[in-house]
Amino acid sequence: MFSDSPHEECGVFGIYAPSEDVARITFFSLYALQHRGQESAGIAVSDGKTINTHKEMGLVSQIFDERSLRHLKGHIAIGHTRYSTTGSSQVINAQPFTMHTLLGPLAVGHNGNLTNAASLRRQLMERGVGLMTSSDSEVATMLLAGLEGNTWSQRIDAFTNCVEGAYCLTVLTRDALYAVRDPWGLRPLCLGRFGDAGWVVASESCAFDTIGAEFIREIDPGEVLQIDRDGPRTIAKHPAQQQAFCLFEYIYFSRPDSYLQGQLIHEVRMRLGHELAREAPAEADIVIGVPDSALPAALGFSQASGIPYGDGLIKNRYIGRTFIQPDQRLRQQGVALKLNPLPNVLNGKRVILIDDTIVRGTTSGPIIKLLRKAGATEVHMRVSAPPIRHPCFMGVDMATQPELIAFNKTEAEICETIGADSLAYLSMDGLIRATRRDANGFCGACFSGKYPFPIHEAGKEIFELTSI
C-alpha cells in the first residue's frame, strides 16, 4: 500500500507425494512463499481422477482453513500465490487456472510474464476460444489445453516453442506434475525431495525448509521436468544461448534464507553492502537499513566501513495485511504507518541510510524526514543497486518509464528531491562482483535497457485496455 519497491508477481509450488496430505503441505509451502505475492492464492489437488481447486483473494492465512483444506483430497497438488503483473487484481485472475480437456483435467500455476501474450491471445480468439480473464496465465493454460499432441509431454514441449518471455510453470494433470522453466532462466525454480517417495518443486528453496523437504537442485533454464510414480525425469531441455537470470532476485525478491545458484541470498546482500561501502563511503556515526530487505546490505556496509550498525527504523509488519483503507489523514501519514524511527538511536547522529532500490522516490523522502524528525543531523542515502531507468516486461511490476525517478532526474536531482545530504548507487560492476557470477548470465534490463529478447505489447492491464 505504501511501498515504492518493485513487486514480484508470483510464487509457485508443486508436490507429488502418495499417502501424504498434499493440500496441507502446499498450504505451508505457500505460507513460505507469501513474500512473492499477497493479492490472491490458490491450491489445486488431483486424486488421480479429478482436480479440485480452492482459490480466493487475500493472504494464504486468510484463504485457507481446516474446512477448505479438508475438501482438497489427493496425492498431487500445485499452489500459487499472486502479485498481478498482467491482468488486474481480482478473483477471476487468481490461480491456479483449471479446465477439462480431451486428455483429462488440467491445472496451471504461472510465475512470470509472456511478452507475446497479446498475439497469442488474438490467435486463440481467432480460433474461437473464449477467454474469461485478463491474465496471460489464462492464455498459457488455454494454449496447453489446445496445442496438438497426444500426451501432456508433447503439448508442453509445443508450448515452450511458441511462447516468449519469463515463465515458470507448475502443471497438474490427472496423474503427474510438470515443472517448466523458460529458456533464459529469468525466474527461479527448484526441485526437492519430500520423505521417502515424495517430490516437490518451488520458486524458492525456503519453501522446502518449511515443510522439511530436502533441496536437490535448481531446475535448469529451458528444462521440462515430469514427476509421477516413477519419480522425476527430464523430458525436454531447450536452454537459450544466453542466460538472463533476474538480478532483482538477489537484490530484493527472494527471501534471505533461500539459496539461488548455490549461494545464500543473505550473504549476497551483505556483499552488496561491502561493495557499496567501498564505492561510496561517507563520514557518519551509524549505518541503518530500511526494513526488511535492505538490512543485510546495511550490515555489510557497516562491516566494510567500520561504522557501527544500528536498528533505526522499526517496521509494522502487519500494515500490509489489511484490506481496510486508511482515511485521508492517515493516508497522508504514509510511511509513518509502516515505519517508526527510534529517536534514542538516531538523535544527534550522522546517519547512513541503506535501501535496496529507489523506484518512484515516493517513500525515500518521507523516510528521510522521519529520521530528521527523530534527531538525525545528517542523512546519507546509499542504494545497494544501480539506478532503475527502464521498466521490466518479464514479470516485475515496478513502474512505467515516466514514473521512474532515475529516468527523469540526475543523481544530484534525486538527492535534492528526497532531501538527503548525499546519495550514491551501487555500480553494475559492484553488483556483479557481489553475486560472484558471470555478468553474461543475468538480466539487468531495468538498469541498462538491454532486454534479453524483443519486447512486444506488454503491460499490467493490456487486456483490459484493448479489444484483443
Active-site residue list: 10
For residue 375, give the C-alpha cell: 534527531
Distance CA(219)–CA(13), nearest Å, equals: 13
SS3 content of the chain, % helix, strand, coil (to 5): 35, 25, 40
CB-based contact 426:275 (threshold 8 Å): yes
- Please tell me whether 246 is known to bind a ligand: yes
Residue 11's beta-bridge partner residues? 81
157 is in an annotated binding site: no
Helix axis angle for 428-435 and 265-279, nearest 10°, is: 140
Is 162 annotated for ligand binding? no
Distance of alpha carbon 334 from the chain centroid: 24
Give CA–CA dist 376/352, Å, rounded. Answer: 10
CA–CA gap between residue 331 and residue 137 (Å, rounded): 33
Are 297 and 354 in contact by the 8 Å Cβ rule? The answer is yes
Q: Is 168 annotated as a binding residue?
A: no
State the cell numbers at 140: 498459457
Indicate the angle between helix axes 117-126 and 136-146, nearest 10 degrees.
Answer: 50
Is 438 labelled a binding residue? Answer: no
Using an 8 Å Cβ cutoff, are 167 and 174 in contact? no
For residue 428 the three cell numbers come to 553494475
Q: How far apart are CA 273 and CA 374, in angstroms?
A: 25
**Side chain identity, residue 281:** P
Annotated binding-site residue? 356: yes
Exposed (0-12), middle (13-18) or buried (19+): which is 169, by Cβ within 10 Å?
buried
The span from the CA of 87 to the CA of 80, in Å, is: 15
Please indicate if the annotation marks 293 as binding a ligand. yes
Q: Which residues are annotated as a binding site for [4Fe-4S] cluster?
A: 246, 392, 443, 446
Known binding-site residues equal 246, 293, 355-356, 392, 443, 446
Residues that constitute the known binding site for Mg(2+): 293, 355-356
